[in-house]
Amino acid sequence: MENRRNIIMDGDPGIDDAVALCLAAAHPEAFHLLAFTTVTGNQTIDKVTENARRLVEFYGLDIPVAKGSVVPILRKIETASDIHGKNGMGNVELPKPVKPLASENGVLFLYETIKSLPEGEKVTLVPTGPLTNIALLFRVFPEVKERVDEIVLMGGAAFGGNVTPTGEFNIYEDPEAAAIVFDSGLPIVMCGLDATNLCGIDREHTAKLMGENGAVCRAVGQMVQFYLESVVYKDKPYASIHDAVTFMYLLHPEIFKAVKMPVSVDCSENKNRGMTVCDIRDWNYDTEPSTTVLMDADSVKFQEYLVEAVYTLDRRLGK
């Protein structure tokens, strides 16, 4: 299919990573998924890699999974097991994977996968976790940037954070890596908290998914329900599915408000560690910024399209 994007997803599944991959798998007409590389974040590298392998096969995808960075570039690991559960997927147990791991070196695997693309083709990178793998890729193999069309990432915020008052989890986990990526000069779409906090699945739809016969619907419903019972969402009407905003933006950019602006990352040890500093002073730009920041979203349309995708994949797989 000529209009399909070549996609490599790089993530740390993670409930919202799991739902994001479901959205991508439901749209083979739009996405040519090449691979999934993992990175330490929501859980340790072994757990998120196992999750990625299980999810790929559960969603009927025939793509390789490679194990990525074990630790951030400079920082200590700080997982989010209180939000994502002991196994990282809301303690939902999917069938064990059959296919072996493609590689134990995710950064080298990324390079080889991108360089093996047919001449003239490029890839869209979709990182939904800390940016450690992508930063190392650009540092070790800078020539690979010529084959990257754009980066559509979940992370950061123009205003506010969720780990600290100014730091969003993915950026806070490895701010040095984020700084390398934002300074790469490549086109970036930053799907940050300004938009992703508005994009979720509510309790009514979650209950309906859990009550379905299909395995995909039930699994997604159970994962989101775990989210809803967490300290972050227990008093809220819906759970934000942050990572799914990346693929939703690629499918339906019209439901988002996007603004181009320069973005830098605070790598200090002070209270603003991990802050994405977004310069909204459009009169102060010498050149057009390379980063597009999502600032708003249509919550109703997001949920409609996302839930529809879950049902679509469920029916297609017939589990």
Looking at the annotation, which residues are catalytic?
242
Q: Can you give the C-alpha Rg of the chain in angstroms?
A: 18
Question: In whole angstroms, how far apart are CA 181 and each of 132, 142, 153, 185?
Answer: 9, 11, 10, 8
What type of residue sits at position 116?
Answer: S
Distance between CA 308 and CA 319 in Å, rounded? Answer: 17
- Of residues 94, 52, 95, 64, the one with CA closest to residue 222: 94
Sign of CA dihedral 156, 144, 261, 191: negative
Q: Are 287 and 262 spatial neighbours (Cβ–Cβ below 8 Å)?
A: no
Q: Are 173 and 73 spatial neighbours (Cβ–Cβ below 8 Å)?
A: no
In sequence order, the 6+-apart residues with CB closer than 8 A to the CB of 168 are 155, 156, 157, 161, 162, 192, 193, 274, 276
Other residues' Cβ atoms within 10 Å of the Cβ of residue 265: 26
Q: Which residue has the tokens 């980063």?
A: 291
Distance between CA 191 and CA 127 in Å, rounded? Answer: 10
